Chain A
Amino acid sequence: MDKTVNNKAWLLVLPVLAIVAFSAVLPLMTVVNYAFNDTFGNNEFFWAGLEWFDEMIHSDRLHAALGRQALFSAIILAIEVPLGIFVALNMPKKGFWASFCLVAMALPLLIPFNVVGTIWQIFGRVDIGLLGRTLSGLGLDYNYTNDPIDAWVTVIVMDVWHWTSLVALLCYAGLQSIPQAYYQAARIDQASRWAVFRYIELPKMKGVLLIAVLLRFMDSFMIYTEPFVVTGGGPGNATTFLSIDLVKMAVGQFDLGPAAAFSLMYFLVILLVSWVFYTVMTGMDRSQSDIPEGM
């Protein structure tokens, strides 16, 4: 759509600007302040320069958390994206069951994060949880509080449980926008099921899939509450992801300087990814505009 140039539109944006400035810029200034200073309390600060950044960049603890975080995000993406697509392809297209599936699938998305954690904490327990009890009943040595592998499996299954529906719902919306004529043409061209997926469904899902991947990447990169409730970051540091580590550092140990430096670097990574996200998405909006609507 061609837009009118009008700098008075700034007035309409002012309320948003004020509120976000208050809740984003001011706190960020505090973080920056901590990151470059040292303090012994009493609001007295000493210039520390890049010391904290230096410390953090060379911190084994941070590297380990980052490694765990990257591995976690990679695994859940590798599971949730194909599974989400698969589920979307199998969803009913219309009628009561379509609505039913939509509602049932959206349900996990609306459960407070710590309740999600609680559900799985209970569900996985060997003494009172269905999952833990069943697994140990099958003779498996499963205990997520002692065994790092079991803890990882639990946290990953929990995330898959919690968020696969998001990917599936997005893909479903993409699939719904494919005109019936495409499927009919494919039948006439004698395309195989795979070819229909590869040449019709996948290209049409590309846009929403990109959104799904990036949302999942970013949200998993910031994950805090759910694993914290289930494992508390343990056993040991096995499931201590970036946010958990950050909160431990800032609130637990009150190492404000390093925590702030950590925050800023964390934030910069997210900023970078957001920029890629934004660029790709606005590019997509442009290329989509020549597709006729209402088919």
Chain B
Amino acid sequence: MARITLRNLAHSYLPTPQGDGDYALKELDHVWQDGGAYALLGASGCGKTTLLNIISGLLRPSHGRVLFGDRDVTDEPTAARNIAQVFQFPVVYDTMTVRENLAFPLRNRGRDAAYIKARVQQIAAIIGMESALDRKAQGLTADAKQKISLGRGMVREDVNAILFDEPLTVIDPHMKWGLRTQLKQLHREFGHTMIYVTHDQTEALTFADKVVVMHEGRVVQMGTPQDLFETPAHTFVGYFIGSPGMNFIDAQVAGDTATLPGGAQVGLGGHYAPLSGKIGIRPEHAALTGQGGLPVTIRRIEDVGRHRLIRAELQGVPLNIVAPEGQPVAGLDRVVFDPRRINVYADDWRVAPQEIA
């Protein structure tokens, strides 16, 4: 087990990359702490899989170094890195039995038979496949196969990290929840470093202690689920996390006031140097009211169970508001924002409020 450090890492699939756009992965510095449970979250094609393959050594980065602990492994092959990886589609050796599948990584490393037997039994118990150990892997269902892949990833006790590349894509929705819980439990039990790639925010937020959000080949934020929710570092994070995502409104900001295009003013929770950008507010932190605040036009009200979602317009700009269950909304046509929950963005990046001296 080891801390994984990415230093000035970047990757381009082109031999001579010209501009920023030629990089599948833009330069980043990042440390994955030993024993952490990380999620790598982003839309398809944002560079998540590229990053994962660089860590596992399936891909050699065109720039920068990869360190395991203090050891530079940039040029080492996958096998030497002692990494486990679970792929999007189940990869099982069809002609082997489940037992042979699980034992395969240990056999290849020349472990002794008694140890392998015990370890396979243990893993089979964890993934709940003890009864199927002597069946051929061929013909098992997709989720059973994916469990085997998972088991093969965990069978080595000394792996530096276990990487998951959207491992639940082919799994039935009702099985997903179970497997995810199992993973979380395994992480607590064995303390492996786990990096979990997904484009599903629920998966990311429930699995990980730290979530890394990627956008267009760049890491835009790394933080706890709470950080991502409350203080998105980039407008993309605001959009991507939460359902629906954060509301963004163009604004001129100066001091503790934001002036909207129509001239209306919104109070902010902190002090800012003058700038032209956007203010961001979560639908959960906006509330309908009868007086004060800003006038809105309500377009539609959706009842989504525990709360109601109000689709409104503020001076022609769409605005989502979450109304708690039981709150009457009839006749309310104004909105107020919680000043402390408003974030300010310039060029899509969050601007922190000034310390007040």
* A residues adjacent to B (C-beta < 8 A): 179, 181-182, 184-185, 187-192, 195, 199-200, 203, 287, 290, 292, 295
Is B89 on the interface with A (CB-CB < 8 A)?
A: yes
Assuming the contacts A188-B56, A192-B108, A292-B170, asked whether A199 and B79 have C-beta atoms less than 8 A apart, the reply is: no
Find out whether the CB atom of B152 lies under 8 angstroms from the CB atom of A189: yes
For residue B109, CB closer than 8 A to chain A, the reply is yes
Please give, as numbers and ranges, the residues of chain B lying within 8 Å of A192 by CB-CB distance: 108
Whether A182 contacts B95 by the Cβ 8 Å rule is no
- Does B273 interact with chain A (Cβ within 8 Å)? no
- The smallest beta-carbon distance between A22 and chain B, in angstroms, is 44
Contact B142 A199 (CB under 8 A): no
- Picked from A190, A203, A295, the residue with its CB within 8 Å of the CB of B89 is A295
| A-B contacts, CB under 8 A, total | 57
| Closest 3 A/B residue pairs (Cβ) | A185-B91, A190-B79, A181-B87
> CB of B343 within 8 A of chain A?
no
Question: B104–A189 contact, CB under 8 A?
Answer: yes
B21 adjacent to chain A (CB < 8 Å): no
**Shortest beta-carbon distance from A181 to chain B in Å:** 4
Q: Which chain A residue has the least Cβ–Cβ distance from B59?
A: A184
Nearest CB in chain A to that of B83: its residue: A188
Main secondary structure, interface of A, reads helix
**How extensive is the interface on chain B, given as a class?**
20 to 34
The answer, yes or no, to whether B84 is at the interface (CB within 8 Å) is yes
A199 CA / B103 CA spacing, docked (Å): 14
Q: Which of A184, A195, A287 contacts B108 (CB 8 A)?
A: A195
Closest chain A CB from B76 CB (angstroms)? 12
User: Which residues on B sit within 8 Å (CB–CB) of A195?
Assistant: 108
> A195-B108, A203-B94, A292-B142 are contacts. A188–B89 as well, Cβ < 8 Å?
no
Contact of A199 among B83, B95, B149, B170 (CB under 8 A): B95
Among B88, B93, B149, find the residue whose CB has the most chain A CB atoms closer than 10 A.
B93
Cβ–Cβ < 8 Å partners of B53 in chain A: 184
B259 at the interface (CB under 8 A from A): no
CB-defined A-B contacts under 8 Å, sample of 20: A181-B88, A181-B89, A182-B91, A184-B53, A184-B56, A185-B87, A187-B78, A188-B78, A188-B85, A188-B105, A189-B152, A191-B104, A192-B108, A200-B93, A203-B94, A287-B138, A287-B139, A290-B139, A292-B142, A295-B89
A188 and B79 contact, CB distance less than 8 A:
yes
Q: Does B77 reach chain A (CB closer than 8 Å)?
A: yes
Interface centre among B91, B138, B139, B149, by most A CB within 10 Å? B91
Which of A185, A187, A188, A290 counts the most chain B CB atoms within 10 A? A188
Residue of A nearest to B78 (CB): A187
Question: Provided the pairs A187-B79, A188-B79, A188-B85 are in contact, do residues A199 and B93 lie with their beta carbons within 8 angstroms?
Answer: yes
Question: A200 — which chain B residues lie within 8 A by C-beta?
Answer: 93
Report A67 CB to chain B, min CB distance, Å: 36
User: In the complex, which residue of chain B has the Cβ closest to the Cβ of A179?
Assistant: B89
Contacting A at CB under 8 A, from B75-130, are 77-79, 83-85, 87-89, 91, 93-96, 104-105, 108-109
Task: Tell whether, in the assembled complex, residue B89 and residue A191 are in contact, meaning their CB atoms are under 8 Å apart.
Answer: no
- In the bound complex, CA of A190 to CA of B53 (Å): 16
Bound together, the chains give a CA A191 to CA B100 distance in angstroms of: 13
Report if B186 contacts A (CB, 8 A): no
Q: Which residues of B contact A181 (CB under 8 A)?
A: 87-89, 91
Q: Judge whether A187 and B139 touch: CB under 8 Å.
A: no
Known interface pairs A181-B88, A200-B93. Does A191 touch B170 (Cβ–Cβ under 8 Å)? Answer: no
Q: Provide the residues of chain A in CB contact with B94, threshold 8 Å.
A: 203
Task: State the CA gap A191–B110 with chains docked (Å).
Answer: 11
Return the chain A residue nearest B85 by Cβ.
Answer: A188
Name the B residues within 8 Å of A190 (CB-CB).
79, 105, 108-109
Tell me the complex Cα distance, A200–B91, Å. Answer: 10
B window 154-206: CB within 8 A of A = 170
Q: Are A199 and B96 in contact (CB under 8 A)?
A: yes
Quick check: A203 and B95 within 8 Å, CB to CB?
yes
* Nearest residue, chain A, Cβ from B92: A185
Is B58 close to A, CB under 8 A?
yes
Q: Mark B54-79, 1 if CB is under 8 A from A, else 0.
A: 00111000000000000000000111
